[in-house]
């Protein structure tokens, strides 16, 4: 049965705190997921309801030659996707799991994996942390909801995590989403004495998983005969702000939001710009 009013209990919150991820029961309806899928098909066909404030990306980015492609900011371009992102259920769960009283949108991304074929032999997503891409953020409590658009069993490249790795000290620079050699990345951490505990999270359509921004995660190739679509909604807490910091190789950390958000009085990107990063949940209002 679908439980759209689901409330996490203290054990769920403690599980998220200890493991860095959490899997819901069936909480999304067929109608919600059908509308979302239809919106993604419209996007693939080149349709948009609105344009981004600036054109910052091509229609698809990623490793198209390996069968992995991403589309960003679909909520800002398609009304039905924004309607889905604004449903209170998922931001409410993000608030409960992270302990943040206010949840704002930070970014969203569709990851589309074609089935394995001769040309698309390695459609893995490299082990990475989302935090590595968010070094321009003050917050380390940010988190992601990952929503499969179809039943996603262990052969289809479901989300995979390194259990408990959000508590490790040395994962903040792991911007290796595009690095398909999963075994080498694992070997690097095993050599440091880390206990890499890979957990696959097979999911039914209607399930949602959440992961902490410091949790190492990725996914193996899609060995089914159908595309694997996963929609990630990335959340920031109300206190999050832009900060100047090093992003890797001495360059300053930059996020695409820096090109899209309005600037504050100091000229820094304002991650609370309601056009780009709307408030999705406030515990004090119970709903926005």
Ligand X SMILES: O=C(O)CCC(=O)C(=O)O
Interacting residues toward Fe ion by CB under 5 A: 130
Can residue 36 be called a binding residue for ligand X (CB under 6 A)?
A: no
The count of residues in the chain is 288
Judged on CB neighbours under 10 Å (0-12, 13-18, 19+), 210 is buried
* Interface of this chain with ligand X, residues 128 to 157, rule: CB under 6 A: 130, 144, 146
Which is nearer to ligand X, 199 or 282 (by Cβ)? Answer: 199
Q: Which residues contact 194 (CB under 8 A, 6 or more apart)?
A: 165, 168
> What is the distance between the alpha carbons of residues 286 and 288, in angstroms, rounded to a whole number?
7
| Cβ(156)–Cβ(224) below 8 Å | yes
* Least distance to ligand X, CB of residue 171, Å: 13
Which is nearer to ligand X, 23 or 268 (by Cβ)? Answer: 23
Residue 230 interacting partner from ligand X, Fe ion, none (CB closer than 5 to 8 Å by kind): ligand X
Can residue 281 be called a binding residue for ligand X (CB under 6 A)?
A: no
Which residue from 89, 96, 208, 232 is in contact with ligand X, where contact means CB under 6 A? 232
Which is nearer to Fe ion, 33 or 233 (by Cβ)? Answer: 233
* Least distance to Fe ion, CB of residue 101, Å: 24
Can residue 230 be called a binding residue for ligand X (CB under 6 A)?
A: yes
**Considering CB under 6 A, how many residues would be counted as binding ligand X?**
10
> What is the distance between the alpha carbons of residues 286 and 42, in angstroms, rounded to a whole number?
33
Which residue from 219, 222, 236, 240 is in contact with ligand X, where contact means CB under 6 A? 219
> What is the distance between the alpha carbons of residues 240 and 257, in angstroms, rounded to a whole number?
13
Residue 219 interacting partner from Fe ion, ligand X, none (CB closer than 5 to 8 Å by kind): ligand X
In Å, what is the CA distance from 82 to each residue of 30, 49, 75, 98, 277?
17, 11, 4, 22, 11
Can residue 125 be called a binding residue for ligand X (CB under 6 A)?
A: yes
Which is nearer to Fe ion, 72 or 130 (by Cβ)? Answer: 130
Which position has the token pair 């609105």? 50
User: From edge to edge, which strands make up the β-sheet containing 159-162?
Assistant: 125-128, 217-219, 159-162, 198-200
Mask: binding to ligand X, 91-120, rule CB under 6 A, as x and -? Answer: --------------------x---------
| Cβ(272)–Cβ(72) below 8 Å | no
The SS3 call for residue 110 is strand
* Least distance to ligand X, CB of residue 263, Å: 27
Residues in the site for ligand X, rule: CB under 6 A? 111, 125, 130, 144, 146, 159, 217, 219, 230, 232
């Amino acid at each position: 049965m679908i439980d759209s009013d689901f409330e996490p209990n203290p054990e769920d919150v403690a599980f998220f705190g200890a493991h860095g991820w959490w899997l819901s029961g069936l909480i999304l309806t067929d109608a919600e997921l059908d509308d979302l899928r239809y919106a993604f098909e419209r996007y693939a066909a080149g349709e948009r309801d609105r344009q981004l404030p600036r054109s910052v990306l091509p229609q698809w980015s990623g490793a198209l030659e390996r069968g992995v492609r991403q589309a960003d900011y679909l909520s800002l371009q398609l009304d039905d996707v924004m309607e889905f992102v604004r449903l209170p259920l998922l931001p409410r769960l993000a608030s409960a799991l992270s302990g943040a009283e206010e949840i704002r949108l930070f970014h969203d991304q569709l990851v589309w994996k074609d089935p394995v074929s001769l040309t698309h032999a390695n459609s893995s997503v490299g082990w990475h942390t989302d935090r590595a891409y968010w070094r321009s953020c003050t917050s380390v409590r940010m988190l992601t909801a990952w929503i499969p658009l179809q039943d996603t069993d262990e052969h289809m490249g479901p989300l995979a995590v390194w259990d408990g790795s959000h508590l490790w000290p040395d994962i903040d620079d792991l911007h290796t989403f595009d690095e398909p050699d999963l075994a080498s990345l694992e070997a690097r951490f095993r050599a440091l004495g880390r206990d890499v505990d890979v957990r696959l999270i097979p999911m039914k359509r209607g399930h949602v998983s959440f992961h902490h921004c410091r949790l190492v995660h990725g996914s193996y190739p899609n060995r089914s005969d159908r595309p694997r679509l996963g929609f990630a909604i990335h959340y920031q807490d109300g206190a999050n702000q832009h900060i100047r910091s090093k992003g890797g190789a001495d360059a300053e950390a930059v996020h695409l939001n820096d090109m899209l958000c309005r600037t504050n009085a100091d000229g820094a990107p304002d991650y609370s710009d309601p056009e780009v990063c709307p408030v999705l949940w406030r515990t004090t209002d119970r709903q926005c």
